[in-house]
Structure formats: structure tokens, C-alpha cells
Chains A and B, each alone.
Chain A
């Protein structure tokens, strides 16, 4: 009972807010008021109901393309997760490598990786390759940098205490540093999965034959605005679900928090 009330307290306010916003949009777009004000044709300003209708009508097409995009996101994210954790660990263990590369790693975060997507298409072609590369690149940095920060945040007294209790370097890593860094790695992963969706769409815009990003380009060219919005809704859903999944894993793994 108490738990149910607690859950409701967390979910109800944002749910109400979303419903209110959808309602306002429905009113503004459904009555033609918004299109009028913008001086546009009605079909360019679809109402939520119209978007939902298209979503249902074209569900096969949208689902096929969403599956393509989802696979790209998952594969790119997985590559970034493995590389990010591995690189963070490597930098943590090698003082020299860290001092040399950490500033470079952080500085390179400011490069808008998305703009090099066209080059990646030239290199890797129209297949999944360039999308994977873009997604993995933009996911890599939040994961690697957060994990490294986590590894370095460890209480030095805990490490020294372990040293007086016979701990080897790898035991200190396994029993103290890695668990302490885990919450940081999860924060990084959550940021990464959100940008992964953006990366996938961009990768598809630059060059692809399938996927929600590809579909959006087509719909945009053909002024199929309602379906464009439907794709956006599905992409948001993918991001939210993946984000929540990571949150669930985090809660299960970090029971002590």
C-alpha cells in the first residue's frame, strides 16, 4: 500500500504533465488554430490523435525500421561499453598513459563527432558500419570518462587498509575500486544511451537505406508530417525504455546504495 502510494507519487506528476501537454497540443492542432497561426497547411501540423492514427496504420513499416535502428543502437552501445570500461581501466592502471591521454580524451569530447559521420560513410559505406562507428564514438566518452572518475574517486584510506590486509593490486581493483566506480559507470551508460539514439538517427541521415532516421528523411521530403512525428515518438520511446532498463540493472547491482 505504502509502496504503491510511493510509486504513484513519483509517476503521477510527470504523467499528468505529459497528458496536459498532449491535450493542449491536441486542442491547438486539432482545431486548426496552430496551423492558422503559423500560416501553414493543416496537414503540416498534425495533432497527437493524427500521429497515433498513422502510428497504427503504418505499424508494420515503422516497426521494421525501428528494429533496424534499435539494432544499431544496441550494437554501438555495446561496443562503446566494452571499450569505455576497458580504456578507463587501462588509464587507471597506467599512470603514464593516463597523464598522456586523459586531457586528450576530455578535449576530444568537445569535437562534434556527428559531423565526421559523412567521412565514416565514405570509409564504411551504407551498411551498419558507419552508424555503429558514430554511436560507439559518442557513447564511448561518457562511459570512459565517468568510469575513470569513479575509479579515481575511491577513498585512499580504504585502499591503504586493504594493503595492510594482504591485498594485491588486482584484489584492490576487484574489491574496492571497481565496486566504487560502478555507480559512475552507470551514470556514464545512461548518458551514453540517450546520445546513442541521436547518433543512430544522424548516422542514418548521412547515408542509409533503412531505419527510422531514413524513414524520417523520406517522410520529410514527402511532407508526411504525421508519420515523421510518429518516428520521433518511437525514437523517444526507445530512448526512455533503454534508459529505464539501465536504471533497473543499476538498482539490481547496486543494492548497497
Chain B
């Protein structure tokens, strides 16, 4: 079952600092919403609000029509900006965390999570410790861990930000078919406009803090997996320039933003 996600007039502040303001969004079941915006504009905060780790100061967020934090938390899985792989577990045990928490036996959980390792280009690394993995592999394990939760809503916070350009392009190309096959409702935060357009159905651009909606842009339709064809297409380029223009016009965030 795939569920919808929506926000109405969402706003949030930390103390005196307004971080998000007046956000409306709607994500249909199985769609991917990209969120772009300058550093410190509240993208990570938005994800924490959606998945019920925080309560928004203003407005409501609904996941499958449920608006309480507890019910949103029960339906959404969060991939934090830092991968948060637990160094005392192997790649496989990290990926299987959700199943272990659900009470599956270690053998069962490992078998189920292990089935995905091949598809994620991780076979052979099941028993590696996180510090033995490359940056790209760590991100894939972290994503796998999120996916294995079987939750309907996935909240991905800059999944590829820490990677070099080539690895990032490779992983984007890899993620696109995974997302369409999985049919989950996804919010993907990134500061890479191209990545947002390539992976999302709709892109929400935010202004500098406090993050307000600057634009909502439909990504070019019929995006195929061949990334170099997509990102060089005419419609793609026009939208990319449009988004970049919007982000450039919004003023630089002031000091004190979180990394």
C-alpha cells in the first residue's frame, strides 16, 4: 500500500529563529518530491517534521491522512544527512536494523536484508564493518536500511551530498529505477538542482531561511535511466536554469546555520 503525503501552512521555529514558513505541499502516492534550497533554509528540519520526530509549530502535516506525530512516525522512515551507520554492526546488521526492531530473529532479518545486497551492488560486503566501506557503499547501506523498514514514506536527506561527482552520478542513475520499482512516497532533500530534477516528479524550491516556497516545478516527464541523455535534454536544462535562478535570487543565509 502506498500513501499520500501533504502539508498545509507548515512553519517551524527554533527559539526566536524562524526556520520554515508557510509551506504547502502535496505528494501523491508513489511520487517523489524533491526539495532544494540554500544551506540552512530548513530542509533537514522539514524532513524531521514530516516523519514525526518533531511537531511543527504551525500548520499540519498528514501522512496517509494521519496528522499526529506518532502516526506519522509509524509510517515514515528517515535517512539522516549523516549516514548514522552503527560502527559495531556489520553492513548486513545495519541494513537489518528495522527487522530486528520488529522482533525478527537475527537469522531471518539477515536473510531478508541480505537478499537486497546484490541489487544494491553490495554483495560480498555483508560482513564488512562500516569503516571498511567506501562512501558510496555506506550511502547505499544507509538507504537499504531505510528501505528494509517497508515503510510507505521515505525521507532522504541529501543521500549523496558527501560523495564525489562521479560516484554521485552513478548512484543517482542507480537510485532512479529503484525508486520507481519500489513505489514508495519519497521526499528527497538535496542542494543539487540537477539531482532533484533527475530523481523527482516534482521539485519544491525553498528560499533562504526562513525557508518559504520559492517555486514548485514539475520535473521533465518520461525521464529514463540514462542520466547523460536526461540532463542534457532541452526541457531539463530550462528547468535547471529556472531553479538555479530562483535559488540565486534568494539572499545568502546568515551566519549560524547548521551543517
Q: Do A and B bind each other?
A: yes
Is B86 in the interface zone, CB < 8 Å from A? yes
CB distance from B186 to the nearest CB of A (A): 14
Q: A157 contacts which chain B residues (CB < 8 A)? A: 80-82, 84
A176, B78: Cβ atoms under 8 Å? Answer: no
Q: A155 contacts which chain B residues (CB < 8 A)? A: 82, 84
B87, A165: Cβ atoms under 8 Å? Answer: no
Which of A157, A161, A162 has the most C-beta atoms of chain B within 10 angstroms of its own C-beta?
A161
Is A158 in the interface zone, CB < 8 Å from B? yes
A175, B97: Cβ atoms under 8 Å? Answer: yes
A166, B80: Cβ atoms under 8 Å? Answer: no
A256, B129: Cβ atoms under 8 Å? Answer: yes
In the assembled complex, the Cα of A181 lies from the Cα of B129 at a distance in Å of 19
For chain B, the bracket of interface size reads 20 to 34
Is A160 in the interface zone, CB < 8 Å from B? yes
In the assembled complex, the Cα of A168 lies from the Cα of B48 at a distance in Å of 18
In the assembled complex, the Cα of A157 lies from the Cα of B76 at a distance in Å of 15
Query: Which of these binds chain A: B98-106, B175-183, B193-201, B227-235?
Result: B98-106
Is A163 in the interface zone, CB < 8 Å from B? yes
In the assembled complex, the Cα of A162 lies from the Cα of B102 at a distance in Å of 11
Known contacts A161-B78, A161-B80; is A166 also within 8 Å of B88 by CB?
Answer: no
Known contacts A155-B84, A179-B88; is A162 also within 8 Å of B53 by CB?
Answer: no
Known contacts A158-B86, A164-B78, A179-B86; is A171 also within 8 Å of B149 by CB?
Answer: no
CB distance from B105 to the nearest CB of A (A): 14
A256, B88: Cβ atoms under 8 Å? Answer: yes
B53, A163: Cβ atoms under 8 Å? Answer: yes
Report B100-137 CB contacts with A as 1/0, cut-off 8 Å: 11100000000000000000000000000101000000
Residue of A nearest to B130 (CB): A256
A256, B98: Cβ atoms under 8 Å? Answer: no
CB distance from B127 to the nearest CB of A (A): 12
Is B219 in the interface zone, CB < 8 Å from A? no
Is A167 in the interface zone, CB < 8 Å from B? yes
Main secondary structure of the interface of A (DSSP, over half): helix
A164, B73: Cβ atoms under 8 Å? Answer: yes
A256, B87: Cβ atoms under 8 Å? Answer: yes
Residue of B nearest to A158 (CB): B84
Known contacts A160-B78, A161-B78; is A167 also within 8 Å of B84 by CB?
Answer: no
Residue of A nearest to B81 (CB): A157
Is B145 in the interface zone, CB < 8 Å from A? yes
In the assembled complex, the Cα of A161 lies from the Cα of B156 at a distance in Å of 11
Q: B80 contacts which chain A residues (CB < 8 A)? A: 157, 160-161
B97, A165: Cβ atoms under 8 Å? Answer: yes
Q: B51 contacts which chain A residues (CB < 8 A)? A: 164
Q: A165 contacts which chain B residues (CB < 8 A)? A: 77, 97-98, 101, 145, 149
Q: B98 contacts which chain A residues (CB < 8 A)? A: 165-166
Q: A257 contacts which chain B residues (CB < 8 A)? A: 87
Q: B86 contacts which chain A residues (CB < 8 A)? A: 158, 175-176, 179
Q: B88 contacts which chain A residues (CB < 8 A)? A: 179, 254, 256
* Interface of A toward B, CB cutoff 8 Å: 155, 157-158, 160-168, 171, 175-176, 179, 254, 256-257
Top 9 closest pairs, chain A to chain B, by CB: A165-B98, A164-B78, A166-B101, A179-B88, A167-B101, A158-B84, A157-B80, A256-B87, A161-B84
Q: Can you name 19 extra interface pairs (CB under 8 A) apart from A161-B79, A164-B51?
A: A155-B82, A157-B82, A158-B84, A160-B48, A160-B53, A162-B97, A162-B101, A163-B53, A163-B73, A164-B73, A165-B77, A166-B98, A166-B101, A166-B102, A167-B101, A175-B97, A256-B87, A256-B129, A256-B131
* Interface of B toward A, CB cutoff 8 Å: 48, 51, 53, 73, 76-82, 84, 86-89, 97-98, 100-102, 129, 131, 145, 149, 151
Q: 18 A–B contact pairs at CB < 8 A?
A: A157-B81, A157-B84, A158-B86, A161-B80, A161-B84, A162-B97, A163-B73, A164-B51, A164-B149, A165-B77, A165-B145, A165-B149, A167-B101, A171-B100, A175-B89, A254-B88, A256-B87, A256-B129
